[in-house]
Amino acid sequence: MAATLFKVKKQVMGAIKIENWIPYKLITVDGLLQCHWLNTYGNRFTEPFFDETILKCRSAHARNYTFPSVSNLEMVKAWAQDLNEVEPAAFIFHISRCGSTLVSQLLATSIENIVLSEVPFFDDILRLPFKEPYFKETEINNLLTTAFKYYSQAITSPTASLGKKEKHLFIKADSWHIFFYKQLRQLYPKVPFILIYRRPDEVFKSHSKMPGMQAVPGMLEPQLFGFKAEEIGHNPGIYLANVLTSYLSKYLEIAASDNNCLFLNYNEGPMQMIKKVAAFSSIRLSMEDLQNMEKRSHYHSKKPGEHFSEEALTDAPSYLNEAMELYDILDEKRIAMQ
């Protein structure tokens, strides 16, 4: 079976330019780890979340290919040998529902920025040891940096003929990727890390209406958050409160030891945050960039056609008290660091 997969993929890759292809999914079939690929056709990645980009690419892929593009994992590394290494301008971490999606969208308004927002393939790699324990950290690191090559080189700017191409790569992580902080920091010791957060009661309310993966007990490995499987319980409210406590505890730990981190509070507002991100990442925003970002900032981060509005906050449950205390400590530290 592995040989068949390799043959199919080799035929595909031999017929097109490698930079137009991305590995987008890892799955295990009959005990074999498979990597699935998509042709991006040179499109820029501008959707709020990369899942949306995948759906768009899969639709185009299905119109042009009648067979799946699948390989074994070794070919992911082999086909990347001719791709250039690209160091990110910054990693963007967040505790969810705290403005990170809008910050990413504002960055993406500039033709000079590549913004990779919560790429499922990166998450597949980072969490691979939970599913396949034989993978060691060194191998995971190699796969991750290789994946970054594909995703940073896969985009051909629509104005490339005018000499304008993306210069800066921003990687917006999934919220739980903050628990891979040490691993990522060792890989990129000089890259700025942006850590965005928000009042836990406001995050809690947002997830209560529309829960994300991290808000649902059992959707993610409990070890990620420092929980034991038998401790996660069945009360989603208490579980989410504990997740937020874990996030903020990690933020405080990082704040105490890493000077190459920028902490941003949602309440600063999108334009203030984006200016700080640009300055901390050493990128220049033109007047046109700022005008485009200002216009985009008035619309919903996940629904660009809708104006954004806040809802009134109700009383927070008592099991959020610890998270609220940690938030206050972190915010005092952020203000003191300014």
Report the amino acid identity of residue 221: E
Work out the average pLDDT over 276-289: 96
Q: Quick check: is 31 in a domain?
A: no
Domain count, the chain: 1
Q: Quick check: is 333 in a domain?
A: yes
- Residue 273, phi then psi, degrees to nearest 5: -65, -45
Q: Quick check: is 130 in a domain?
A: no
Q: Quick check: is 327 in a domain?
A: yes
pTM of this structure: 0.88
Q: Quick check: is 268 in a domain?
A: yes
Report the amino acid identity of residue 6: F
Model confidence band, residue 65 (pLDDT cutoffs 50, 70, 90): confident
Check which CATH number belongs to the domain holding 312 and give it: 3.40.50.300
pLDDT at 4 over 50: no
Rounded Cα distance, 256 and 48, in Å: 31
Q: Quick check: is 186 in a domain?
A: yes
Higher pLDDT, 16 or 228: 228
**Count of residues in the chain:** 338
Range with the lowest mean pLDDT among 13-27, 146-160, 252-266, 312-326?
146-160
Task: Of 8, 1, 139, give the one whose Cα is nearest residue 74.
Answer: 139
- Segment 230-262, tens digit of pLDDT: 778 789 999 999 999 999 999 999 999 999 999
CB hemisphere CA count around 142 (13 angstroms): 13
- Segment 85-122, tens digit of pLDDT: 889 999 999 999 999 999 999 999 998 898 999 999 99
Signed CA dihedral, 90, 95, 101, 106: sign only: negative
Containing structural domain, residue 258: 83-112+167-337
Work out the average pLDDT over 137-142: 96
